Amino acid sequence: MKNIANIREEYHIGFLNREQLKDDAIEQFKQWLNEAIASECLHPTAFNLATVDSQLRPNNRIVLLKEVNENGFVFFTNYQSQKGKELESTGFASLNFFWGELERQIRIGGMVEKLSAGLSDEYFHSRPRESQLGALVSPQSQVVHDDDALDQRYKELDLQYQGKIIPRPEHWGGYIVKADNIEFWQGRTNRMHDRYKYTRQDGSWLIQRLAP
């Protein structure tokens, strides 16, 4: 194995200062997301979703952002999955976006709420039919004792719903993360990275620079 301690990246693409930042953290996020998409960053809407279990042990996984609006950040999953149970238990989550091509990352924290059934229905039926079937078939995060069981169940439901509307499972739907803090990180040379943290206060955002 290569000595990973000797693998180093030097950041040199850009910098970030207070004058560049928008007053609203959500608008600043949208600007950076649009720039990541325009720059053809790999999976620009992918983020690391961190939760904690009942013993306060952290868990994380990659999830896809499906909407961002003035209320927060939206994604969809199985409510009975590990992350679903942990979100239900604590009511909080942490998100991290990383766009290596732009040498940027964004950290987001806040409360989590389920979307309404109507909004979850709307998004579910906008998905490809194959993805709808997958959500119906999979008992996400549960142990599978038969390697062929899920594939067989998929085939059965595929036949059952030929020419029919596939119902959204009650255990599948959306969440919105209502951010109360968002940090924007821009890589700089000599590890002198630029970091600005937005903290929500009384309907507006306090912006503070953090040491790298």
Question: 83-104: b or e for each residue (b if 16 or more CB lie within 10 Å)?
Answer: bbbbbeeeebbbbbbbbeebbb
From CA 3, how far away is CA 75, in angstroms rounded? 38
CA distance 196 to 16: 8
Tokens of 83: 């992350």
- Amino acid occupying residue 185: W
Question: Which sign, positive or negative, has the C-alpha torsion 131, 125, 159, 169?
Answer: positive
Whole-angstrom Cα distance, residue 126 to residue 105?
29
Identity of residue 113: E
Give the residue numbers marked as catalytic.
191
Write 140-148 long-range contacts (CB < 8 A, 24+). 140/77, 140/78, 140/80, 140/81, 140/82, 140/84, 141/78, 141/80, 141/81, 141/82, 141/83, 142/80
